[in-house]
A and B are shown apart, each in its own frame.
Chain A
Amino acid sequence: DQQVKQNSPSLSVQEGRISILNCDYTNSMFDYFLWYKKYPAEGPTFLISISSIKDKNEDGRFTVFLNKSAKHLSLHIVPSQPGDSAVYFCAASATREADKLIFGTGTRLQVFP
């Protein structure tokens, strides 16, 4: 049972435009959500997080939106840069359950000039 789903395996965006990566979850106990970025031959790197008490968190060019009623979160990158080309994983955890972080399958973002 895939509790965290990233239904788009890939996304291609022109440099300067907005990139929107989506993530859906099924476990209503999840209350903390994170996005990680992964370059080839490297481990995932933490990007941005959001607690369920918020619906938006912003850090520079990166903004995460959380819609609890829809069990949906999204990552917006504005403006997109070629260096943003990577695989993006969303992850979720439930602080009242085991402390494991559940990851989605990832979305490969390609930003072209």
Chain B
Amino acid sequence: DSGVTQTPKHLITATGQRVTLRCSPRSGDLSVYWYQQSLDQGLQFLIQYYNGEERAKGNILERFSAQQFPDLHSELNLSSLELGDSALYFCASSVNAGGNSPLHFGNGTRLTVT
């Protein structure tokens, strides 16, 4: 158990809809990262937050947004969903903001857009 909790585990929704994915980091971790894994793809970095502030941005679509709350949990909002957004979405956390801290991953949210 990594200590990172992601909810829900599965999500099925229709095109055009909006969903929110939730992540609770490990106790004491200040950084939260979001990654997307599509079929047969590696983990694509979306966005990182550190102690409530956005720290780094990757290949995140404008239809997607995220935030980290004062209690350090994070939410990833996906709107105007398209079929191609179907993927596994992973949240990870680390103690600090540096890229040389191992990340601890949750078990992911599997999003299916129909």
A residues near B (Cβ < 8 Å) are 4, 6, 31-32, 34, 36, 41-46, 49, 51, 89, 91, 93-95, 97-106
Contact = CB atoms under 8 A, between A and B. Distances in A.
Contacts of B58: 100
B108 A43 contact: yes
A32 B90 contact: no
Contacts of B31: 99
Contact of B2 (A6, A45, A49, A103): A45
Contact of A32 (B55, B99, B104, B107): B99
Contact of B99 (A43, A89, A101): A101
Nearest to A5: B42
A105 B42 contact: yes
Nearest to B91: A43
B52 to A, nearest CB: 15
Given A43-B92, A43-B105, A99 B98 contact: yes
A6 B43 CA distance: 12
A101 B103 contact: yes
Contacts of B56: 98-100
B82 to A, nearest CB: 22
Nearest to B110: A41
B55 to A, nearest CB: 6
A99 B104 contact: no
A99 B55 contact: yes
A31 B99 CA distance: 9
A104 B43 CA distance: 7
